[in-house]
Chains A and B, each alone.
Chain A
Amino acid sequence: MKIGIPRALLYYNYYPLWHSFFGDLGYQVVISPATSRAILDSGVMSCVDDACLPIKVFHGHVASLIGKVDAIFIPRLVSIYPKEFICPKFIGLPEMIKSSIKGLPHLLVLNCNAHRNLDAAYKAYVELGKMLGVKRSQAVRALQKALINQQLYESLLKKGQTPIDTLNEDKSIGESKGVIGLIGHPYLLYDEFISMGLISKLRARGYVVMVPENVAQSHIEAVCKELPKKLFWSYGKKLLGSGLAMLKGRKVDGIIFLSSFGCGIDAFIIELLQRYNHRLYQIPSALITVDEHSGQAGFNTRLEAFIDMIEWRNSREGHISPHGTSVLGH
């Protein structure tokens, strides 16, 4: 049996785990192709207008798997850590897919809810195995192996790689001019179509990129403890915590927030990060919002302007142009 995994949303967080789990149980895993204009368009057509870009992209990936596989794997992660949640749209994802896409094959829904306790998250995989007609012991064994792979992957990330590097096995980082922090959900940053190659563009300009996955969980927890109220979105916490850790340690020369239009969590997280940055750290920052209409040209211009600003700040911050002349002196 072929099981299809859409290359969208949490795929970038968990692909070693899912790959290995299904592979170990003896199924052939088919990943949907990388996001393209066609996939995005089919997603936009089938999804409700008000959903955010990543959800539309996910719809597109599911649609692209139809006819190629016998079952499609759809994770429903309600919560990955006790007393925390993930975005509401992730919780209702299987239902959204079911009611908006026609002609679906069998759906394998993973119901992962660790809101009460962490064990429940593991039980979800056993349940998933049961759906496939796999014995409990076999599922547990496959899960254990998969978890080892997942940990290996996460330790690579902590060393400064991004998921794209691990996917492409490209580890070359040359001479660097500085570090740029990138704050954004993994399904935006690492989808090269959505992020328009942001990471490679920054590297081409000679900057090292630091992503939320590079920041240790303990740092994130420590920073988030200082918030006036516990943040109840796991991924929101990761973004806010890693952003604050980068700013606080002055580990970055500039910070770019990548958000998708209509992202409810980013609206709050990035707002808070920007306010804290203005008040306490004053590190150059830019907010880039992408949606299904984003054009490369405007994106590139903003990126170039941002990098120019960081570089000029180092060389001529003291120069204040008199009326009528430019900073460059001509």
Chain B
Amino acid sequence: MKVTFPHMGQAYLAIKGLLDDLGIEVVVPPPITQKTLEIGTKLSPEMACLPLKINIGNYIESIEKGADTIIITGSCGPCRFGYYGVVQKEILNDLGYDVDMIIFDPPNSDYKAFIDRIRRLAGKNSWASIAQAFNRASTIVKEADEMLDIALKKRAREASRGDTDSKLYRFEREVMGKHGTREILETIRKYKVILSQVEENPEIWPLKIGLVGEIYTLIEPYVNLNIERKLGYMGVEVCRSLTLNEWVKVHLSLDIKHRVRHKRILKKAAPYLNLCVGGHAWQTIANSVYYSECGLDGIIQIMPFGCMPEIVAESILPKVSQDYGTPIMTLVVDEMTGEAGYFTRLEAFVDLLEQKRRRRADEYQESIFRG
């Protein structure tokens, strides 16, 4: 059995580590490129959302490298993600790929099926060792996100442009040669130190922009055209509302403290939207309110074209922006997204925020002199 999985940001670090520890051979899909997207677009239903298309591209590229089993997670609606597994399986079937697909749905009632699936994947490993490996994998998720957070802070302030990214690039090259959670974790920790030593320019006073929206487009840099890096180069510090770590903590762990915090933020959305409409639309609204209250300079919502829950959020966000006075921009990405137009919009948005901040500072100064 050679197992593969779809890419989603840094998730491959944890999944590879977990499967390595369980002694399962794993094929990490090649990084997402234009080719991946083209394969996916050609073979998927036209109206499907972007993540499904990229997943298909990942599968095919991995199958070409020898994978014969695919693992993905599922959900039970109302977002389309819940039916990804079934549609993708039919697509691969019709193409004649003889692969096994193991879909991990949240075990709402059918615990037996869930346990069977884990057994099918984990083989002879004992439950204790599965649990331990799982635990270590979630540590990887946590530390990898901490590493990215350091990078986000450093990128906006680095003394020489590109310093942070060259270190991240070296990390990506190095970590691919590692085996098992321990080695991967060591590499992450090593690079956390390296990254925090990146030289800063003390004169930079970065703008702060919060990213909200659909989780896949937020986490996967290829899909959002590396928005974090692009904003970082413009001297903007990015705050991410949804991270893998956040997802793992809310969905897979028993961290009560974190859940309470999650609920508290969700409550902030009450005047605008007070129930789950699927996906992360509720979180999008709640985090936008939260960021506005925190005094961030601006908010950007990112979503794939046709994402049902985020469309609801998109139509509510102008009201949040009106009430709090925080500029909010929505970016929709799909396979046709061109970089140039996208970056022009980003630059214009950052310019706007900068002017707004300057005006605020001037007004403040005036009021001091007048007073």
Q: CB within 8 Å of B: which residues of A?
A: 47-48, 50-51, 55, 78, 83-89, 91-92, 95-96, 98-100, 227-233, 259, 261-268, 270-272, 275, 278-279, 289
Contact = CB atoms under 8 A, between A and B. Distances in A.
30 contacts: A47-B315, A48-B314, A50-B306, A78-B275, A83-B76, A88-B281, A89-B308, A92-B309, A92-B315, A92-B316, A96-B312, A96-B315, A99-B316, A99-B319, A229-B85, A229-B86, A229-B103, A232-B77, A233-B77, A264-B308, A265-B80, A266-B47, A267-B47, A267-B49, A268-B45, A268-B87, A271-B48, A271-B90, A275-B90, A275-B94
A274 B47 CA distance: 14
A232 B76 contact: yes
Contacts of B121: none
B314 A91 contact: no
A330 B96 CA distance: 41
A95 B275 CA distance: 11
Contact of A87 (B78, B83, B94, B276): B78
Contacts of A95: 272-273, 312, 315-316
A158 to B, nearest CB: 27
B206 interface: no
B275 A267 contact: no
A219 B82 CA distance: 24
A185 B80 CA distance: 17
Nearest to B305: A50
A262 B272 contact: no
Contacts of B313: 92
A279 B77 contact: no
Given A51-B311, A91-B276, A95-B312, 8 more contacts: A88-B312, A99-B316, A227-B86, A229-B74, A229-B105, A261-B47, A267-B45, A271-B90
B167 interface: no
Contacts of A262: 47, 306
Among A51, A85, A268: residue with most chain B CB under 10 A: A268
B320 to A, nearest CB: 9
A261 B47 CA distance: 8
Nearest to A87: B308
Contact of A264 (B47, B91, B272, B318): B47
Contact of A272 (B90, B272, B314): B90
Contacts of B57: none
A92 B277 contact: yes
Q: Ordered nearest first, which 4 A-B pairs have the shortest CB separation?
A: A92-B312, A267-B47, A232-B77, A85-B78
A228 B101 CA distance: 12
A295 B345 CA distance: 32
Interface string B32-47: 0000000000000111
A300 B334 CA distance: 31
Nearest to A83: B76
A22 B275 CA distance: 26
A232 B315 contact: no
B180 interface: no
A100 B317 CA distance: 10
A264 B281 contact: no
A233 B86 CA distance: 14
Interface string B301-341: 00001111101111110110000000000001000000000
